[in-house]
Amino acid sequence: MGSTTNELIAAGEAALRDGVVDSTSVRNRAYAVCDALGLDREALVDPLLMQLDQLLMGVKFIRELSPRTRDYLVSFGERLSVRIFAAHLLYNEGLPARAFDAFDVGFRTDSNFQNAEILEETYDHIRGFFQRVVGSQTLAVITGFIAKDCEGHVTTLGRGGSDLTATTLGAALATTEVQVWKDVDGIMTTDPRLVPNAIPVADMSFEEAAELAYFGAKVLHPVAMQPAMRFNIPVRVKNSYNPEAPGTVILRRESLPSERPVTALSVKRGVQLVDIVSTRMLGAYGFLARVFACFATHQLSVDVIATSEVSLSLTLDANACDTNRQQRICKELEQIAQVSFSSGRAIISIISNVRRSSEILARAMNALHEQRIEVQMISQGASKFNISMVVHNDEAITAVRALHEEFFDNVSGNNGTPSATIAAATSSPIQGVV
Protein backbone atom coordinates (compact mmCIF):
# COMPACT_ATOMS: atom_id res chain seq x y z
CA MET A 1 0.00 0.00 0.00
CA GLY A 2 3.08 2.21 0.21
CA SER A 3 2.42 4.36 -2.87
CA THR A 4 -1.21 5.08 -2.02
CA THR A 5 -0.52 8.49 -0.50
CA ASN A 6 1.35 9.70 -3.57
CA GLU A 7 -1.45 8.38 -5.79
CA LEU A 8 -4.08 10.19 -3.72
CA ILE A 9 -2.19 13.48 -3.94
CA ALA A 10 -1.72 13.02 -7.70
CA ALA A 11 -5.45 12.34 -8.12
CA GLY A 12 -6.31 15.52 -6.20
CA GLU A 13 -3.92 17.63 -8.25
CA ALA A 14 -5.29 16.17 -11.50
CA ALA A 15 -8.84 17.04 -10.44
CA LEU A 16 -7.74 20.58 -9.58
CA ARG A 17 -5.51 21.19 -12.60
CA ASP A 18 -7.22 19.26 -15.39
CA GLY A 19 -10.73 18.63 -14.05
CA VAL A 20 -10.12 14.88 -14.27
CA VAL A 21 -11.69 12.66 -11.60
CA ASP A 22 -9.69 9.44 -11.64
CA SER A 23 -9.00 7.25 -8.61
CA THR A 24 -8.18 4.19 -10.71
CA SER A 25 -4.67 3.64 -9.35
CA VAL A 26 -5.86 3.80 -5.72
CA ARG A 27 -8.83 1.55 -6.47
CA ASN A 28 -6.74 -1.03 -8.36
CA ARG A 29 -4.15 -1.18 -5.59
CA ALA A 30 -6.80 -1.74 -2.91
CA TYR A 31 -8.59 -4.33 -5.05
CA ALA A 32 -5.35 -6.19 -5.76
CA VAL A 33 -4.56 -6.50 -2.06
CA CYS A 34 -8.09 -7.64 -1.26
CA ASP A 35 -7.95 -10.25 -4.04
CA ALA A 36 -4.56 -11.52 -2.89
CA LEU A 37 -5.93 -11.98 0.64
CA GLY A 38 -9.24 -13.48 -0.51
CA LEU A 39 -11.33 -10.63 0.91
CA ASP A 40 -14.63 -9.18 -0.33
CA ARG A 41 -13.34 -6.00 -1.94
CA GLU A 42 -16.73 -4.48 -2.74
CA ALA A 43 -17.98 -4.72 0.84
CA LEU A 44 -14.64 -3.78 2.35
CA VAL A 45 -13.31 -0.82 0.37
CA ASP A 46 -15.98 0.35 -2.08
CA PRO A 47 -17.79 2.61 0.43
CA LEU A 48 -14.57 4.54 1.06
CA LEU A 49 -13.66 4.64 -2.62
CA MET A 50 -17.08 6.13 -3.36
CA GLN A 51 -16.39 8.88 -0.80
CA LEU A 52 -13.00 9.47 -2.43
CA ASP A 53 -14.60 9.96 -5.86
CA GLN A 54 -17.10 12.40 -4.35
CA LEU A 55 -14.25 14.40 -2.82
CA LEU A 56 -12.36 14.51 -6.11
CA MET A 57 -15.54 15.65 -7.85
CA GLY A 58 -15.77 18.48 -5.32
CA VAL A 59 -12.15 19.48 -5.99
CA LYS A 60 -12.92 19.54 -9.71
CA PHE A 61 -15.93 21.85 -9.45
CA ILE A 62 -14.86 24.06 -6.54
CA ARG A 63 -11.32 24.41 -7.97
CA GLU A 64 -9.79 24.22 -4.53
CA LEU A 65 -7.27 21.90 -2.86
CA SER A 66 -6.54 23.64 0.42
CA PRO A 67 -4.47 22.13 3.26
CA ARG A 68 -7.74 21.09 4.92
CA THR A 69 -8.96 19.32 1.78
CA ARG A 70 -5.55 17.74 1.24
CA ASP A 71 -5.61 16.27 4.77
CA TYR A 72 -9.03 14.74 4.10
CA LEU A 73 -7.74 13.40 0.78
CA VAL A 74 -4.65 11.63 2.13
CA SER A 75 -6.63 10.15 5.04
CA PHE A 76 -8.14 7.61 2.63
CA GLY A 77 -4.84 5.71 2.46
CA GLU A 78 -4.83 4.98 6.19
CA ARG A 79 -8.52 4.23 6.29
CA LEU A 80 -8.33 1.74 3.40
CA SER A 81 -5.29 0.06 4.96
CA VAL A 82 -6.82 -0.61 8.37
CA ARG A 83 -10.01 -2.04 6.92
CA ILE A 84 -8.07 -4.48 4.75
CA PHE A 85 -5.64 -5.42 7.49
CA ALA A 86 -8.31 -5.94 10.16
CA ALA A 87 -10.36 -8.08 7.75
CA HIS A 88 -7.30 -10.20 7.01
CA LEU A 89 -6.65 -10.75 10.73
CA LEU A 90 -10.32 -11.59 11.33
CA TYR A 91 -11.09 -13.87 8.39
CA ASN A 92 -7.69 -15.37 7.57
CA GLU A 93 -5.98 -15.48 10.96
CA GLY A 94 -8.98 -16.00 13.23
CA LEU A 95 -8.16 -13.02 15.46
CA PRO A 96 -10.90 -10.77 16.91
CA ALA A 97 -9.73 -7.73 14.92
CA ARG A 98 -11.74 -4.60 14.26
CA ALA A 99 -10.79 -1.49 12.26
CA PHE A 100 -11.13 2.00 13.75
CA ASP A 101 -10.36 5.46 12.47
CA ALA A 102 -8.22 7.39 14.97
CA PHE A 103 -10.66 10.29 15.12
CA ASP A 104 -13.42 7.89 16.21
CA VAL A 105 -11.13 6.52 18.91
CA GLY A 106 -10.72 10.05 20.29
CA PHE A 107 -7.78 11.77 18.59
CA ARG A 108 -8.37 15.54 18.65
CA THR A 109 -5.99 18.18 17.34
CA ASP A 110 -5.77 21.87 16.63
CA SER A 111 -6.60 23.12 13.12
CA ASN A 112 -3.03 23.40 11.86
CA PHE A 113 -3.72 21.23 8.82
CA GLN A 114 -0.89 19.01 7.54
CA ASN A 115 1.01 19.41 10.83
CA ALA A 116 -1.62 19.33 13.56
CA GLU A 117 -0.83 19.01 17.27
CA ILE A 118 -2.66 16.56 19.51
CA LEU A 119 -4.82 18.17 22.20
CA GLU A 120 -4.67 17.17 25.86
CA GLU A 121 -8.27 15.92 25.85
CA THR A 122 -7.22 13.12 23.47
CA TYR A 123 -5.89 10.96 26.31
CA ASP A 124 -9.20 10.90 28.18
CA HIS A 125 -11.13 10.32 24.95
CA ILE A 126 -8.98 7.28 24.11
CA ARG A 127 -9.32 5.75 27.57
CA GLY A 128 -13.08 6.22 27.50
CA PHE A 129 -13.44 4.78 24.00
CA PHE A 130 -11.48 1.65 24.85
CA GLN A 131 -13.54 1.10 28.00
CA ARG A 132 -16.86 1.60 26.20
CA VAL A 133 -16.25 0.09 22.77
CA VAL A 134 -13.07 -1.94 22.46
CA GLY A 135 -12.74 -3.87 25.70
CA SER A 136 -10.23 -6.61 26.39
CA GLN A 137 -11.44 -9.12 23.78
CA THR A 138 -11.00 -6.98 20.64
CA LEU A 139 -7.79 -6.47 18.67
CA ALA A 140 -8.07 -2.82 17.60
CA VAL A 141 -6.47 -1.87 14.28
CA ILE A 142 -6.30 1.93 14.26
CA THR A 143 -5.31 4.43 11.59
CA GLY A 144 -2.06 6.26 12.18
CA PHE A 145 -1.27 9.84 11.19
CA ILE A 146 -4.84 11.21 11.10
CA ALA A 147 -7.20 12.87 13.58
CA LYS A 148 -9.94 15.53 13.64
CA ASP A 149 -10.03 19.07 14.95
CA CYS A 150 -12.74 20.36 17.27
CA GLU A 151 -14.92 21.31 14.29
CA GLY A 152 -14.85 17.78 12.90
CA HIS A 153 -12.40 18.37 10.03
CA VAL A 154 -9.86 15.64 9.29
CA THR A 155 -6.29 16.64 10.16
CA THR A 156 -2.91 14.99 9.72
CA LEU A 157 -0.09 14.91 12.25
CA GLY A 158 2.88 15.66 10.00
CA ARG A 159 6.20 13.87 9.89
CA GLY A 160 6.33 10.92 12.29
CA GLY A 161 2.56 11.02 12.62
CA SER A 162 1.91 7.27 12.64
CA ASP A 163 4.55 6.72 15.31
CA LEU A 164 3.01 9.58 17.30
CA THR A 165 -0.37 7.86 17.06
CA ALA A 166 1.15 4.71 18.52
CA THR A 167 2.91 6.42 21.42
CA THR A 168 -0.20 8.48 22.22
CA LEU A 169 -2.26 5.28 22.39
CA GLY A 170 0.42 3.65 24.52
CA ALA A 171 0.51 6.60 26.88
CA ALA A 172 -3.27 6.89 27.17
CA LEU A 173 -3.69 3.16 27.85
CA ALA A 174 -0.61 2.78 30.10
CA THR A 175 0.79 -0.06 28.00
CA THR A 176 3.93 -1.94 28.99
CA GLU A 177 5.66 -1.05 25.73
CA VAL A 178 5.09 0.56 22.33
CA GLN A 179 6.69 -1.20 19.38
CA VAL A 180 7.48 0.69 16.17
CA TRP A 181 8.21 -1.63 13.26
CA LYS A 182 10.61 -0.37 10.59
CA ASP A 183 12.96 -1.91 8.04
CA VAL A 184 16.14 -1.89 10.20
CA ASP A 185 17.23 -3.90 13.25
CA GLY A 186 16.59 -0.98 15.58
CA ILE A 187 18.46 2.30 15.89
CA MET A 188 22.00 1.85 14.60
CA THR A 189 25.25 3.27 15.94
CA THR A 190 25.35 5.31 12.72
CA ASP A 191 24.03 5.22 9.17
CA PRO A 192 24.98 1.75 7.83
CA ARG A 193 25.13 3.17 4.31
CA LEU A 194 28.13 5.21 5.45
CA VAL A 195 29.62 2.69 7.89
CA PRO A 196 28.85 -0.91 6.83
CA ASN A 197 29.85 -2.34 10.22
CA ALA A 198 27.37 -0.18 12.15
CA ILE A 199 25.52 -2.19 14.80
CA PRO A 200 22.13 -1.86 16.51
CA VAL A 201 22.04 0.05 19.79
CA ALA A 202 20.48 -2.13 22.50
CA ASP A 203 19.04 0.74 24.53
CA MET A 204 19.06 4.52 24.76
CA SER A 205 17.30 7.31 26.63
CA PHE A 206 14.46 9.39 25.27
CA GLU A 207 16.76 12.43 25.25
CA GLU A 208 19.43 10.59 23.26
CA ALA A 209 16.88 9.31 20.74
CA ALA A 210 15.45 12.80 20.28
CA GLU A 211 18.88 14.35 19.72
CA LEU A 212 19.80 11.57 17.28
CA ALA A 213 16.60 12.01 15.30
CA TYR A 214 16.93 15.78 15.10
CA PHE A 215 20.47 15.59 13.80
CA GLY A 216 19.98 13.20 10.92
CA ALA A 217 18.65 9.80 12.02
CA LYS A 218 15.29 9.08 10.35
CA VAL A 219 14.11 6.04 12.32
CA LEU A 220 11.93 7.81 14.90
CA HIS A 221 10.83 11.44 14.86
CA PRO A 222 11.38 13.42 18.12
CA VAL A 223 7.72 14.42 18.40
CA ALA A 224 6.68 10.76 18.42
CA MET A 225 8.57 10.16 21.66
CA GLN A 226 6.97 12.98 23.64
CA PRO A 227 3.90 11.06 24.92
CA ALA A 228 6.01 8.02 25.80
CA MET A 229 8.55 10.17 27.59
CA ARG A 230 5.87 12.07 29.50
CA PHE A 231 4.12 8.90 30.73
CA ASN A 232 7.29 6.75 30.93
CA ILE A 233 6.25 4.16 28.33
CA PRO A 234 9.19 2.24 26.80
CA VAL A 235 9.42 2.39 22.99
CA ARG A 236 11.04 -0.45 21.07
CA VAL A 237 12.15 -0.15 17.43
CA LYS A 238 11.87 -3.50 15.62
CA ASN A 239 12.53 -4.81 12.10
CA SER A 240 9.55 -6.08 10.08
CA TYR A 241 11.93 -8.11 7.91
CA ASN A 242 13.85 -9.59 10.86
CA PRO A 243 11.38 -9.99 13.73
CA GLU A 244 13.77 -12.14 15.76
CA ALA A 245 16.15 -9.19 16.21
CA PRO A 246 15.69 -7.66 19.70
CA GLY A 247 15.64 -4.11 18.35
CA THR A 248 16.35 -0.93 20.32
CA VAL A 249 14.44 -0.04 23.47
CA ILE A 250 14.11 3.64 24.42
CA LEU A 251 13.67 4.30 28.15
CA ARG A 252 14.05 6.93 30.81
CA ARG A 253 17.71 7.52 31.54
CA GLU A 254 17.58 6.23 35.12
CA SER A 255 16.36 2.88 33.78
CA LEU A 256 19.39 2.35 31.55
CA PRO A 257 22.12 -0.03 32.72
CA SER A 258 24.76 1.01 30.20
CA GLU A 259 27.73 3.26 30.98
CA ARG A 260 29.12 3.40 27.43
CA PRO A 261 30.75 6.71 26.49
CA VAL A 262 28.92 7.11 23.14
CA THR A 263 25.50 5.81 22.14
CA ALA A 264 25.45 6.69 18.43
CA LEU A 265 26.67 9.06 15.74
CA SER A 266 24.58 11.02 13.27
CA VAL A 267 25.34 13.08 10.20
CA LYS A 268 23.39 16.03 8.84
CA ARG A 269 24.78 17.23 5.54
CA GLY A 270 23.85 20.21 3.41
CA VAL A 271 24.07 22.84 6.13
CA GLN A 272 25.40 26.39 6.13
CA LEU A 273 27.85 27.74 8.68
CA VAL A 274 27.10 31.35 9.60
CA ASP A 275 29.77 33.43 11.37
CA ILE A 276 28.57 36.66 12.98
CA VAL A 277 31.21 38.98 14.47
CA SER A 278 30.05 41.87 16.65
CA THR A 279 31.18 45.36 15.68
CA ARG A 280 29.37 48.29 17.32
CA MET A 281 27.70 46.20 20.04
CA LEU A 282 30.90 44.70 21.45
CA GLY A 283 30.04 43.44 24.92
CA ALA A 284 26.68 45.24 24.91
CA TYR A 285 23.42 43.66 26.02
CA GLY A 286 20.87 42.96 23.31
CA PHE A 287 23.32 41.70 20.67
CA LEU A 288 22.08 38.10 20.69
CA ALA A 289 18.48 39.30 20.87
CA ARG A 290 18.95 41.41 17.73
CA VAL A 291 20.58 38.51 15.88
CA PHE A 292 17.92 35.93 16.72
CA ALA A 293 15.10 38.37 16.08
CA CYS A 294 16.48 38.70 12.56
CA PHE A 295 16.49 34.93 12.03
CA ALA A 296 12.99 34.66 13.49
CA THR A 297 11.75 37.31 11.04
CA HIS A 298 13.05 35.17 8.18
CA GLN A 299 11.58 31.98 9.74
CA LEU A 300 14.94 30.26 9.93
CA SER A 301 15.58 27.51 12.48
CA VAL A 302 19.08 27.26 13.95
CA ASP A 303 20.59 23.78 14.39
CA VAL A 304 23.66 24.31 16.57
CA ILE A 305 25.28 27.41 18.01
CA ALA A 306 28.57 28.50 19.62
CA THR A 307 29.10 31.93 21.17
CA SER A 308 31.72 34.19 22.68
CA GLU A 309 31.60 37.83 23.81
CA VAL A 310 32.48 39.13 20.35
CA SER A 311 31.21 36.48 17.94
CA LEU A 312 28.54 33.94 17.20
CA SER A 313 28.63 30.87 14.95
CA LEU A 314 25.57 28.86 14.02
CA THR A 315 24.30 26.47 11.38
CA LEU A 316 21.23 26.56 9.14
CA ASP A 317 19.63 24.15 6.71
CA ALA A 318 21.08 25.20 3.35
CA ASN A 319 17.76 24.60 1.58
CA ALA A 320 16.02 27.09 3.87
CA CYS A 321 18.40 30.02 3.35
CA ASP A 322 18.93 30.98 -0.29
CA THR A 323 21.10 33.80 -1.62
CA ASN A 324 18.33 36.41 -1.36
CA ARG A 325 17.73 35.63 2.29
CA GLN A 326 21.45 35.74 2.99
CA GLN A 327 21.69 39.20 1.46
CA ARG A 328 18.73 40.49 3.46
CA ILE A 329 20.16 39.09 6.71
CA CYS A 330 23.53 40.71 6.05
CA LYS A 331 21.84 44.04 5.36
CA GLU A 332 19.69 43.88 8.49
CA LEU A 333 22.66 43.08 10.73
CA GLU A 334 25.32 45.22 9.06
CA GLN A 335 24.98 47.99 11.65
CA ILE A 336 25.94 45.70 14.53
CA ALA A 337 27.91 42.81 12.99
CA GLN A 338 29.79 41.37 10.07
CA VAL A 339 28.06 38.27 8.71
CA SER A 340 29.52 35.55 6.48
CA PHE A 341 27.88 32.40 5.09
CA SER A 342 29.81 29.20 4.28
CA SER A 343 27.97 26.47 2.37
CA GLY A 344 28.91 22.82 1.90
CA ARG A 345 29.16 21.94 5.58
CA ALA A 346 28.01 18.94 7.64
CA ILE A 347 27.14 18.43 11.30
CA ILE A 348 28.58 15.32 12.98
CA SER A 349 26.70 14.71 16.24
CA ILE A 350 28.03 12.46 18.98
CA ILE A 351 25.19 11.26 21.21
CA SER A 352 27.07 10.69 24.43
CA ASN A 353 27.20 10.08 28.16
CA VAL A 354 27.11 13.48 29.83
CA ARG A 355 29.39 12.37 32.64
CA ARG A 356 32.18 11.51 30.21
CA SER A 357 32.03 14.51 27.88
CA SER A 358 35.67 15.56 28.46
CA GLU A 359 36.93 12.07 27.61
CA ILE A 360 34.66 11.85 24.56
CA LEU A 361 35.72 15.23 23.22
CA ALA A 362 39.41 14.41 23.64
CA ARG A 363 39.10 11.05 21.88
CA ALA A 364 36.96 12.52 19.08
CA MET A 365 39.34 15.38 18.36
CA ASN A 366 42.31 13.03 18.32
CA ALA A 367 40.55 10.66 15.88
CA LEU A 368 39.72 13.53 13.53
CA HIS A 369 43.21 15.02 13.85
CA GLU A 370 44.70 11.71 12.70
CA GLN A 371 42.54 12.00 9.56
CA ARG A 372 43.62 15.65 9.09
CA ILE A 373 40.00 16.78 9.31
CA GLU A 374 39.46 20.41 10.25
CA VAL A 375 36.70 20.98 12.81
CA GLN A 376 35.23 24.41 12.11
CA MET A 377 32.83 24.61 15.04
CA ILE A 378 32.03 22.66 18.22
CA SER A 379 28.83 22.88 20.26
CA GLN A 380 27.56 20.90 23.24
CA GLY A 381 23.77 21.02 23.48
CA ALA A 382 21.99 22.24 26.58
CA SER A 383 20.81 18.68 27.22
CA LYS A 384 24.51 17.70 27.46
CA PHE A 385 23.76 14.48 25.56
CA ASN A 386 25.00 15.81 22.24
CA ILE A 387 28.39 17.09 21.09
CA SER A 388 28.18 18.49 17.56
CA MET A 389 31.06 19.27 15.22
CA VAL A 390 30.91 21.10 11.91
CA VAL A 391 33.16 19.85 9.09
CA HIS A 392 33.28 20.14 5.31
CA ASN A 393 30.69 18.05 3.47
CA ASP A 394 33.37 16.15 1.57
CA GLU A 395 35.03 15.13 4.85
CA ALA A 396 31.84 14.01 6.61
CA ILE A 397 31.97 10.32 5.69
CA THR A 398 35.64 10.03 6.62
CA ALA A 399 34.91 11.77 9.92
CA VAL A 400 32.01 9.45 10.79
CA ARG A 401 34.04 6.35 9.97
CA ALA A 402 36.95 7.54 12.08
CA LEU A 403 34.69 8.31 15.04
CA HIS A 404 32.82 5.02 14.68
CA GLU A 405 36.09 3.11 14.72
CA GLU A 406 37.20 5.04 17.82
CA PHE A 407 34.04 4.47 19.87
CA PHE A 408 32.45 1.27 18.55
CA ASP A 409 35.24 -1.04 17.41
CA ASN A 410 34.58 -4.53 18.82
CA VAL A 411 31.35 -3.35 20.47
CA SER A 412 28.15 -5.39 20.32
CA GLY A 413 24.82 -5.15 22.08
CA ASN A 414 21.84 -7.26 23.04
CA ASN A 415 18.75 -6.85 25.12
CA GLY A 416 15.61 -8.65 26.13
CA THR A 417 12.17 -8.40 24.59
CA PRO A 418 9.48 -7.20 27.06
CA SER A 419 5.82 -7.73 26.21
CA ALA A 420 3.91 -5.07 24.26
CA THR A 421 0.34 -4.08 23.57
CA ILE A 422 0.70 -1.32 20.99
CA ALA A 423 2.61 -1.77 17.72
CA ALA A 424 3.08 0.59 14.78
CA ALA A 425 3.99 -0.63 11.31
CA THR A 426 5.15 2.13 8.98
CA SER A 427 6.25 1.95 5.37
CA SER A 428 6.71 5.67 4.72
CA PRO A 429 6.40 8.97 6.59
CA ILE A 430 2.66 8.97 5.84
CA GLN A 431 1.44 5.44 5.17
CA GLY A 432 1.07 3.20 8.17
CA VAL A 433 -1.13 1.08 10.34
CA VAL A 434 -1.22 1.24 14.12
Per cent of the chain over pLDDT 90 is 67
Determine the pLDDT at residue 411: 52
Rounded alpha-carbon distances, angstroms, from residue 268 to 217, 221, 350 = 8, 15, 12
44 vs 258: CA distance, rounded Å? 48
Q: What distance in Å separates the CA atoms of residue 343 and residue 407, rounded to the nearest whole number? A: 29
246: DSSP letter: -
Confidence of residue 410 (pLDDT cuts 50, 70, 90): low
**Distance between CA atoms of residues 287 and 16, nearest Å:** 48
Classify 302 as helix, strand or coil: strand
Q: Give the pLDDT score at 72.
A: 98
Q: Phi, psi (5° rounding) for residue 147?
A: -160, -165
Q: Residue 82: name the closest of 35, 126, 33 by CA.
A: 33
Q: What is the pLDDT of residues 373-395, one digit of tens each?
A: 999 999 987 667 889 999 999 99
Q: Is the pLDDT of residue 138 over 50?
A: yes
Domains of the chain, each with CATH number or no CATH: 1-158 (3.40.1160.10), 178-258 (3.40.1160.10), 263-408 (3.30.2130.10)
List pLDDT tens digits, range 280-306. 655 567 788 888 899 999 888 888 999
Q: Is the pLDDT of residue 204 over 80?
A: yes
> Which ranges constitute the DSSP H helices of 141-244?
161-173, 206-214, 222-231
For residue 114, pLDDT beyond 90:
yes
State yes or no: pLDDT of 128 exceeds 80.
Answer: yes
SS3 250: strand
DSSP string, 100-155: E-HHHHT-EE-S-TTS--B-THHHHHHHHHIIIII-SS-EEEEBSSEEEETTS-EE
* Mean pLDDT for the stretch of residues 2-27: 95
Work out the burial of residue 254: count CB atoms within 10 Å of its CB; fewer than 13 is exposed, 13-18 middle, 19 or more buried: exposed
- pLDDT (0 to 100) of residue 281: 55
